[in-house]
């Protein structure tokens, strides 16, 4: 049996190079084909890609492939021709791309929002939280206009949703603006409190091996006083954070996420919020002092030699 011919190395490597170039530009080429009005079947035949892969590529690019127009797309276009009162930060509203399953939290963080029905996406300029709260204007005229045309009140529903999304984004901006200075303070206060508390507990544990009891006890007393002072500050900051967390919208990011996103402390999840931090430390100190009294009574450390 004759040996198989050895492929030409240059040609083989050239084909591999072409394959790499295609892989690097795959998404771009698929989108170009769709913009040129190629159908899913044509793109699948030319690329060898599965339909769900093509759909995902087009979805990420905000394209929709060759699907039939949805009724809400037509309604959306009709509603946009109506001069309804937009919120001042409004940029655009568009049908959500097919296959776009981004949740509403991601929309909020990207200054956008989604309505559940129909699937449309709103985009706004960034809110600062200093603006007046967005309040829904009257939509009675829009409802009457729709009724006169014997149409569903889509324009008024779109208007109402736009202002509701804007209000939520404004609330998020206000929540973030108010909380960030507290988190800046908290990062410093937590470090001091955590260190003071650890120092106090370390000195207490060290009493069991110290040769100079009285000096060690004096250091412990100083550490206890310092821990109480730091606990006072941590309790104050904890109350502010806890209050903000209680009042925030369900979809708003937690304080730990905000602290990480804004470069305050990527380990904020380790913070132990304790609005009653002083009471917590006081309880620890009482237990430590009670134990020290028991040791003194049982060991009889009253002689001058023991007070070294």
Cα-Cα-Cα-Cα dihedral of 115, 107, 39, 17, to 10°? -170
Grade residue 4 by pLDDT with cuts at 50, 70 and 90.
low
Alpha-carbon dihedral sign for residues 23, 27, 32, 36: positive
Give the pLDDT confidence score for residue 74 in this predicted structure: 47
Q: Which residue has the tokens 């040769």?
A: 211
Three-class secondary structure of residue 123 per DSSP: strand
Three-class secondary structure of residue 299 per DSSP: helix
pLDDT tens profile 70-125: 444 444 555 554 567 888 888 877 766 555 543 333 333 334 444 444 456 778 88
The two beta strands, 120-124 and 112-114, are antiparallel
Please give the backbone phi and psi of residue 123, each rounded to the nearest 5 degrees, phi first. Answer: -130, 140
- Whole-structure pTM value: 0.60
Burial of 159 (0-12, 13-18, 19+ CB in 10 A): buried
pLDDT tens profile 250-283: 778 889 999 998 899 988 989 999 999 999 999 9
What does the block give as tokens for 212?
A: 């100079």
């Amino acid at each position: 049996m004759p040996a198989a011919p050895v492929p030409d190395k240059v040609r083989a490597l050239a084909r591999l190079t072409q394959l790499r170039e295609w892989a690097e530009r795959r998404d771009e080429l698929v989108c170009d084909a769709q913009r040129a009005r190629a159908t899913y079947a044509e793109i699948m035949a030319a690329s060898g890609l599965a339909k769900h892969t093509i759909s995902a590529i087009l979805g990420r690019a905000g394209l929709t492939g060759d699907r039939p127009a949805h009724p809400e797309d037509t309604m959306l276009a009709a509603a946009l021709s109506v001069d309804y009162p937009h919120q001042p930060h409004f940029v655009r509203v568009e049908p959500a791309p097919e296959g776009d399953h981004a949740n509403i939290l991601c929309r909020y963080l990207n200054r956008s929002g989604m309505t559940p029905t129909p699937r449309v996406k709103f985009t706004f300029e960034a809110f600062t939280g200093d603006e007046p709260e967005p309040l829904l204007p009257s939509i009675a005229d829009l409802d009457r206009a729709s009724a006169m045309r014997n149409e569903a009140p889509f324009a008024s529903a779109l208007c109402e949703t736009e202002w509701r999304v804007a209000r939520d984004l404004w609330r998020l901006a206000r929540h973030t603006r108010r909380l960030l200075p507290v988190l800046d303070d908290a990062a410093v206060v937590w470090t001091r409190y955590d260190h003071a508390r650890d120092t106090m507990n370390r000195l207490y544990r060290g009493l069991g091996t110290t040769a100079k009891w009285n000096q060690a006890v004096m250091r412990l007393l100083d550490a206890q006083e310092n821990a109480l002072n730091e606990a006072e500050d941590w309790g104050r900051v904890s109350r502010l954070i806890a209050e903000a967390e209680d009042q925030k919208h369900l979809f708003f990011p937690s304080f730990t996420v905000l602290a990480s996103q804004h470069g305050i402390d990527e380990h904020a999840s380790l913070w132990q919020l304790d609005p009653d931090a002083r009471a917590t430390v006081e309880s620890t100190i009482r237990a430590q002092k009670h134990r020290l009294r028991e040791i003194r009574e049982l060991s009889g450390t009253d002689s001058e030699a023991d007070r070294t």
